[in-house]
Each structure stands twice: as C-alpha cells, then as structure tokens.
Amino acid sequence: MNDDKKQELITVYVDDREVRVPPGTNMIEAAAKAGIEVPHYCYHPKLSVAGNCRMCMVELGMPEKDRATGKPVLDNEGNQKVMWIPKPAIACATKAMPGIRIKTKSDLARSCQEGVMEFLLVNHPLDCPICDQAGECRLQEFATDYGRGYSRFVEEKNVKPKRTLLGPRVMLDDERCILCSRCVRFCQEIADDDVLGFVDRGSYTTLTCYPGKQLENNYSLNTVDICPVGALTSTDFRFKMRPWFLRETHSICTESSVGVNTVVSSREGKIHRITPRRNDEVNDTWMADSGRELYKQVEAKHRLLKAVVDSFETDNVGGAIREAADLLKGERKIAFVGSGRSSVEEQFLFKKLADQAGARLTALVGRVAEGDGLLISADRNPNVRGALVTGLINELPEAELSDLEDAIDKEEIDTVVAYNEDLSAAGISEQQLAKVTIIYVGTHFNETSARARVVLPASTVFEKNGSFINQQYRLQKFLQAVPGRAEGQDDRRILAGMLAEFGVLVSPEIDDVWAEMSETIETFRDIGFMKIPSTGLLLDPPSHLRDLRYPEGGSLHYEPAKEEASVT
C-alpha cells in the first residue's frame, strides 16, 4: 500500500538541477540527491526538525498558477513561470512539492549562509588546534566554505564552562556549543532519557544536564557523534588522536544479534575508537556505548597471543595445529563446542572439521539476556543464525551445555574442541573438565584455555574479515581493521590447517570459503564475500529456521515474527 505511494515521484529543482523525489522529502535530502550540499547544523536525518541554526537558508520558488483556473502560468517561451519568494526559507523545514525550486548558491542564499556563519563564529572560541572535533567539524568545514576568513568582531567573546562532565562518557565544552539542540533531541526522541536542555538565554544560553542528573544512558556517546562541533567529546577518545590520522574500516558490532554497522578507526595497528555507520535498515545512525568499548579486548591483558601445547608456549603454531589434529584422530569420542561469536565462514569450517573428526556432539553456547528494545537485542551472540544456516547447530543454543555435561558424566565424550567459548562459564564443572582432553581455539585466556592440552590463538573481529547474520537474517560483512596480534594465524587458517591434517584440503581464503558455501548451502546460493553490499544482504532462510522461537524481542527496525504468522 505504502509502496505504491513511494513509487510516485515528483520533480523538484535544486539550483536548476532536476531531481525526482518522493513527495514530502526534506529539501536538504532532495538537494543531496542532486549532489548539492545545503549547509546545515541542527538538521539531522534521524531526528525531528528543529530549524534553529538557520544555516540551511535558501531561496524558495513555487510554480506560478492561475488563481482562477489553477492552470500553470507559462512565460513567452512556454516555460513554467516561477514565483520566487522574496525572503529566504530554511531548507530543512521545506518539504518537496511538485515543481518546487530552491536556489542554494544565489546572492541571497549566499549572503544568508555567510551571515549565519559569521554570527555562529562570534562567540565560538578559536580552539581548533586543541579541539578533538577539528578535522571532522562542520563549523570548521562551513567556515572555510562560507566564512569571511577574518573576524569583524572586536568585543570580548562569551566565557562559559569549558569542562563539564555531562556523564561518565561525555564531556561538554559550552563555549564551543552552537545550540543546534541535536543532542537534546536525541535524548528526547531516541534514547528516551530527557536530561539535557538549554538554560539562560540569548548569547548566554548554555547546554546543561538537569542538576543532580547525568547523561549516563547507554546511548550517550551518540550525542558526541551528532554534535556538529567539538562541544560534546568522548572522554575515552578525547585528546587521544587526530581524526585525520585515522584509518576507517567498516565493521559489525558483536554486542548482540542486532549487528550494528560500525566504523573502526585505527592508526598504525591500534584501534582508537568505534563509531556507528549509517544503515537505515539496521541501526540508523546510532550505536550503544557498550559496543564502542569492545575494541579494548584486542589489547586486553588476558589476550592469547601464542600457541600452547601441554602448558608450554610455542612459536610453532603449525606444530600445535598438528598436535591438536592428532588428538582428534583415532578412537576418540569428541564434542565440538562452537561459538555464536564466530563468523559464518568460521562456523562453516568448524562444522566441516567436526564432520571430519566424527564429532558425536556439536553445540553452541547461547547468550540470552534482556534486550533494551533499541540496539541491543536479547541474543547477545552476533551470529547464532550463521551457525543455523551453516548447519553447525539445528536448534537454538542453550546457555548451559547440559547435553555435554551428561555425555561427559556418562563417559560418552572424552575430547572437547572449544571454539572461543569458556566451557566452565557454560556450566561444565571442574571435575567434568578434568575428565576430558580439551583443545581450545580462542582469543583470550580463560578457565578452559588453562586446562587445554592444545591452545591455538585466534583473532578478534577487528583482526580478520568475515560475516555475521543478524536477527533479521541480514548477512553483513566486517573487514580487517588492524593486523592480527596473535602469532601469524587467523581463525580460518587454523581450521583449514586442522582440516588438512585430516586430508581435506580447503583454501582459507575468504572468497574460496564463500565459493564452497554458495555451492553447498542453499541459502547462500550465488553469494560471494565480495558481493555482500556494505549495508548487508537480506537472506531467505529455509522455513524450519524461520519457525524457530528466537529470543529477540522488538528493537529498532526489527519486529519478532508473530506466533500465528510463523505457522502459516
């Protein structure tokens, strides 16, 4: 129903360029579609329109119509006459109507932009050399585009608080604030934690948190992202790195099955921050604060960097892989415990290895907690659906591996391959662990790695390529941001190396793994790693997977399937 309406496009003109947009489109977006940037501060595509910065003022014209007949009025050459409105209008509060025209570069528009810019700079401190926003600051950018280059302001600038801690993660510099109210609207409309507001008036207007409260919700750092200037900065990133030095890599957040699209910023192999990447189907432009912390796991103290065989660290990872494979050969009763945090490719190879080794039991460790209804879902594994599609598991995972416990107690299992999962955290007792030989592949030390015969160091999500399938069954890829810290091995190589010991030769290259997956797994037919678009690819899972009772509740851009709907 709505789709039909969407198809009806109307023609609008931006600087005489013709654009076809759906009716009601914001004129800033319409101009963007025409490849023209209307400068703006307060407008944000995912927030309500405030219209207070006045930076997007343009000249506005409507097609002239005969008042009596309603017919378009034409000039001598037969072209539509345009009535230009003498006063400028803000583009952000102007909606596309048939034939509407805006001029963004006319003398009037230009003088508006320059005037607004000059007023914004009146009280703005010349902080750029010490400001974290420098390099990604809209004020800086538009000052070069629309500023006069020198200041006519001879009076003293306002003095306001420079270092207000709004919350545990957000620092406010009130002098830099241009009062766009994006952060205020974000807290009201998205985070539902209305604590920010403006007090006092005129040029003394000051952004503040309600006295006695803090900006401490788990989405507070989004205010830093959307702040067009350096007023709000992240306490974690503040003064650490210049943005222009940062290399940006597209990644996916592993916090939950939402699969938030992210940008990982790194320099010389060190990650400095994680910020959200816009995906209108998944996370809009937002991300939880907790997900931004995850890069710290790369350099965590308990990171596994070397292979361990019989409690001795070794540089010979190849040898350790051989040792591990040897433990799986012969008359062994093996269980494979995979992870919902592994990529689709790893789960596929892990399943292949489990088949080769004749695993009696394969399991996945479930992680279900309460979702926040926004961007953290109940399933805290980013890729349970990947394990389902690759056939590593056939049912939704449990938090406790009770089947494995029983099997160990009954001595039906004597060897366990644990892939990045701590068995003791999954309910396997110390006595039970003592009864089995453990091979551990993982990124960090834990109880299980401490008891393993062979430990193989793996890569974190930031150190490899791969893909996850999120709660919408959207296949999303992440790319390697930094070189792997663990001894020269990445997960696919470890798995391919073990498979080679069983005489199965597979290429660990991601394209080759995908070539095999697209051949053998129906859901992945015709898909290759390079073919996954940056906004993800919606998969069509087989019906028995669609009918599973997934733990996720509703969240941004996700509604769980209804009971009845899943039957039909």
Partner 1 sequence: MEDVMNLKKETLQKIDEVIPRYPEKRSAVLPLLHLVQEDQGFVSRDATEWIAEKLGLKPINVWELVRFYPMLRDKPVGKKVVRVCRTLSCALQGSYKTCKTLRDAFDCKLDGNSPDGAVTVEFAECLASCHTAPVVMVDDDLHEHVDEEKAKKIAGEILNGQPKQGGSA
Q: Which of 74, 85, 159, 199 binds partner 1 (CB under 8 A)?
A: 199
What is the C-alpha to C-alpha distance for residues 486 and 275, in angstroms, rounded to an integer?
Answer: 25
195 binds partner 1 (CB under 8 A): yes
For the residues of 13-58, what is the DSSP string, one character each?
EETTEEEEE-TT-BHHHHHHHTT-PPP-SS--TTS-----S-TTEE
Question: Does the footprint of partner 1 cover residue 503 (CB under 8 A)?
Answer: no
Residue number, 195 or 361, with CB nearest to partner 1: 195
Q: What is the CA radius of gyration of the chain?
A: 28
Binding to partner 1 by residue 180, rule CB under 8 A?
Answer: no
The answer to the question of residue 212 lying near partner 1 (CB under 8 A) is: yes
Which residue type occupies 559?
A: E
Query: Should residue 197 be labelled a site residue for partner 1 when binding is judged by CB under 8 A?
Result: yes
**C-beta neighbour count of 296 within 10 angstroms:** 11
Min separation Cβ 224 and partner 1, Å? 19
Count of residues that interact with partner 1, criterion CB under 8 A: 13
Q: Residue 470 has which token pair?
A: 């999120």
Which tokens is 287 given? 């991300």
208 or 535, CB closer to partner 1?
A: 208
Asked if residue 189 binds partner 1 (CB under 8 A), the reply is no
Q: Are 257 and 382 in contact (CB under 8 A)?
A: yes
Strand duo 361-364 + 334-338: pairing:
parallel
Please tell me the distance from the alpha carbon of residue 388 to that of residue 543, in angstroms, as a whole number: 12
Q: Which stretch binds partner 1 (CB under 8 A): 45-53, 203-211, 228-236, 362-370?
A: 203-211
Listed ranges 91-99, 211-219, 229-237, 514-522: which one lies at the site for partner 1 (CB under 8 A): 211-219
The residue (of 47 and 91) whose beta carbon lies closer to partner 1 is 47
Q: Which is nearer to partner 1, 197 or 243 (CB)?
A: 197
CA distances from 280 to 85, 181, 286, 479 (A): 34, 22, 10, 20
A 10 A CB-CB count for 298 gives: 22
Nearer to partner 1, 87 or 201 (CB): 201
- Per CB under 8 A, 23 contacts partner 1: no
* Helices vs strands, H then E, count in the chain: 17, 24
Is 213 one of the binding residues for partner 1 (CB under 8 A)? yes
- 161 touching partner 1, by CB under 8 A: no
Q: Which part of the chain contacts partner 1 (CB under 8 A), choosing from 144-152, 198-206, 233-241, 534-542?
A: 198-206
Please, which residue, 198 or 245, has the CB nearer to partner 1?
198
211 binds partner 1 (CB under 8 A): yes
Nearer to partner 1, 137 or 166 (CB): 166
Q: Which of 320, 347, 330 is nearest to 414 (CA)?
A: 330
Across-strand partners of 207?
Answer: 198
Scanning 85-93, 194-202, 466-474, 541-549 for contacts with partner 1 by CB under 8 A, the matching segment is: 194-202
State the residues that interact with partner 1 by CB under 8 A. Answer: 194-201, 209-213
